[in-house]
Amino acid sequence: MPTNNLLLEEPIRMVSILEPSKPTFFPAMAKIVGTLGPKSRSVDIISGCLKAGMSVARFDFSWGDTEYHQETLDNLKTAVKNTKKLCAVMLDTVGPELQVVNKTDRPISLEADTLVVLTPDQEKEASSNLLPINFSGLSKAVKKGDTIFIGQYLFTGSETTSVWLEVTEVTGEDVVCLIKNSATLSGQLYTLHVSQIHIDLPTLTEKDKEVISTWGVNNNIDFLSLSYTRHAEDIRHARNFLSKLGDLNQTQVFAKIENVEGLNHFDEILREADGIILSRGNLGIDLPPEKVFLFQKAAVYKCNMAGKPAVVTRVVDSMTDNLRPTRAEATDVANAILDGSDAILLGAETLRGLYPVETISTVGKICAEAEKVFNHDFYFKKAVKHVGEPMTHLESIASSAVRAAIKVKASVIICFTSSGRAARLIAKYRPAMPVISVVIPRLKTNQLRWTFTGAFEVFF
């Protein structure tokens, strides 16, 4: 294959692989999103995560109440102050997520080639042949032969802790399924995913709105991760809701693509969203395994050319229980960066994993190594060619700044901005050096108070 089609610098000297990596001020340009939870909510652990390279903390409201997450966020603020490391806050919505209701919290053993009934009657007790769920419309959505997947929230996909079901019969509101593999469901929460089936629930639920308007507003969240984004209208609806709250009009909305509906409407979603999260967990159920990589590569490329962040999930699942990733996982992280991914999102690995700090550190090191051999020059030329001519004035200035920085091998690009748009446009061309934004707010007054507007707002 011709080298000009590679994003990898050639040739790589084999001897350099054996040399220890030199420490740098910025360990990796790629961002690491860490999900905070039971194993990663103390000040000490969060401090370790920040030092290891976490730059965005994700709060997932699929489980836990606002009080629980507020306590975790207060610990994050303390850790930020102690470590002097900046960290953004991401609120992840529940959306139309289906869940198994297990009031007893006891493990449930399911045996292959036996039947289990999914029922919306949440008063019934979960057992090996009956699983209550939180959705009454499942019987209307599925038909005989459909595939359903159930596992612990942020499941690893283990064939012993998650289960595949095949719908055999629909009786009233109950759905009878054949169990395809023996497994034991255990943990705090089980989620249910129906492959390639539309679930008639709103993307932004009333529960989501309540959490955003209370916890989100009180903590001035930086990012909203919109779970199960299916259409561009989902993004517009979420942004309109945020704008009405006032305090969150600068919060960025990231579309979480995790089913075929989102895939089919990807281009229109990308135009509306501030960034894209490729949720490979659920997406890997809707798509055959051999198709997931095709979507990832196509989606990351589209995000790159649009100048919008691409976030990849489910990369080092094995580190939930192990200190080291598999060789395949390490390669997967590196290839995600070489493909153009802007961030790696860690879920179970930091939420309930045994080694949250080590996981972030390991992923950061892999990202840094991949970035060292990323062909910035080739990427820059590809991005400029994609934009074409004539360029807008801002696009021309941004691309010219990156070209000059590459030519003179600058250590950093300093960007003066009021909204952050110029800095994001510079980052679109993926310079090899960090971009530091100096925010110049605009001052305006209504004769009662003065207001600085821009990338942040201050009133006095």
CATH number at residue 166: 2.40.33.10
Tell me: do 291 and 348 sit in the same domain.
Answer: yes
Token look-up 């009934």 returns: 117
Asked if residue 21 belongs to a domain, the reply is: no
Q: Is residue 450 part of a domain?
A: no
Q: What number of other Cβ atoms are within 10 A of residue 172's Cβ? A: 8
> Has residue 86 been placed in a domain?
yes
* Cis amide prior to 11 (ω within 30 degrees): yes
- Nearest Cα residue to 345 out of 35, 27, 29, 26: 35
Residues in the chain: 460
> Which of 194, 228, 256 is where one domain is finished?
194
**In terms of domains, do 277 and 407 share one?**
no
Report if residue 6 sits inside a domain: no
Low-confidence ranges of the chain (pLDDT < 50): 1-4, 154, 457-460
Instruction: Identify whether 9 is part of a domain.
Output: no
Sequence-separated (6 or more) residues with CB below 8 Å from residue 381: none
Which of 350, 372, 394 is the last residue before a domain boundary? 372
CATH number at residue 395: 3.40.1380.20
Work out how many domains the chain is built from and give that number: 3
Please compute Rg for the chain using Cα positions: 23
State residue 157's pLDDT score. Answer: 57
219 and 368 in a single domain? The answer is yes
Asked whether residue 227 is assigned to any structural domain, the reply reads yes
Instruction: Look up the domain containing 113 and give its range.
Output: 108-194
Residue 300 lies in a domain: yes
End residue of a domain, out of 194, 222, 250: 194
Whether residues 295 and 336 fall in one domain: yes
Q: Domain containing 290 — which CATH number?
A: 3.20.20.60
Specify whether 344 is located in the same domain as 212: yes
Please name the residues in contact with 200: beta carbons below 8 A apart, sequence gap of 6 or more. Answer: 137, 140, 141
Question: Contact, 177 vs 166, CB < 8 A?
Answer: yes
Q: Please report whether residue 10 resides in a domain.
A: no
Q: Are residues 263 and 143 in the same domain?
A: no
- 217 and 74 within one domain: yes
The pLDDT of residue 188 is 59
Q: Are residues 188 and 335 in the same domain?
A: no
pLDDT at 15: 55
* Pair 143, 249 in one domain: no
Burial of 274 (0-12, 13-18, 19+ CB in 10 A): middle
Q: Are residues 366 and 275 in the same domain?
A: yes
Six-digit token string for 449: 């108070």
Same domain assignment for residues 352 and 286: yes
Pair 273, 299 in one domain? yes
